[in-house]
Amino acid sequence: MRRIALVKYFLLMAVLVVLVGCAAATRMIDYGKMQTDVAMSESIFLTPTEAAKNIFIQIRNTSSDQNITGTFESLILSGIQGKGYQIVQKPSRVTYILQGNIRYKGEWKQGMSWEGTLTGAGLGALTGLGLGGPHHYGTGAAVGGILGAAAGFVADVATRIKTEIIVIEFRITERLSPEEDITGQKVEKSEYTTESKVLGGMGTRPDLPTSKTVDRRVSTSKEGVKIYDAAVAAKAMQVGLDVNEATQRLIENAARQIVGIF
């Protein structure tokens, strides 16, 4: 009986090694080379206009990787200029304002929480990449035995897929009326006072107000201006992913998406 149990155990280990080995081989076939994808939270259609094609661009980076700001900004500037737009330094009288913020660049892992990190647009872009929920690429079959499955486990670890992502949130402000200051706000103010009286008590004068409250109601609006808030996300996946190479691809893909709107 003991010998039969040992035979069954080693057979089971052999099957597990084969299963893990097959999964590792499949990953090497599918992700031996870098695979990339990019998604935008929503489609943006700018209004056709005969106005001057000039734009003010402002790029910020609140991610942990501050070294990529210049590269991304250069790609945006060259791409926009390549479409015939003039880059201007003052935002007040331009036709478009493009503001972008690199919110996250780094490795994606299953179960990551974005609470307080990304806006709804950023989450929407990630969902478009299939990263809004659990990762659908597993790490292989379960290994049920330290000695028997050691070889399969090593193969599994060595061929795990690494995923690098970038998320960029952006805003496009579009002028629809040439008379409107694209950065200005029209403010309407209404002011009124309320009076209250204190009755009774020595020395009081009930016929005069004893307190005065000033309430300013302010409403703001931008006429002739349309604002689009959106985000773009890109991912790179590969077994043995080179982070530097992946970062360059991510930046290029994200910039190309934003430039493509204009």
Residues 212 and 94 in one domain: no
Among candidates 68, 237, 97, 71, which has minimal Cα distance to 170?
97
Q: At 46, phi and psi to the nearest 5?
A: -75, 150
Bridge pairing between strands 96-107 and 86-87: unpaired
In tens, the pLDDT along 184-197 reads 765 554 444 444 44
Residues 212 and 252 in one domain: no
In tens, the pLDDT along 61-89 reads 999 999 999 999 999 999 999 999 999 99
Residue 44 corresponds to which amino acid? I
In tens, the pLDDT along 112-136 reads 878 778 889 999 999 999 886 544 4
d(CA 159, CA 156): 5
Residue 19 corresponds to which amino acid? L
25 domain-assigned: no
90 domain-assigned: yes
User: Could you tell me the sign of the dihedral formed by the alpha carbons of 54, 255, 245, 71, in that order?
Assistant: positive
241 domain-assigned: yes
In tens, the pLDDT along 154-192 reads 455 556 889 999 999 999 999 887 777 788 765 554 444
73, 215 contact by CB (below 8 A): no
Judge if pTM exceeds 0.85.
no
d(CA 111, CA 131): 10
The boundaries of the domain holding residue 228 are 34-139+161-181+222-259
Contacting residues for 130 by C-beta, under 8 A, at least 6 apart: 136
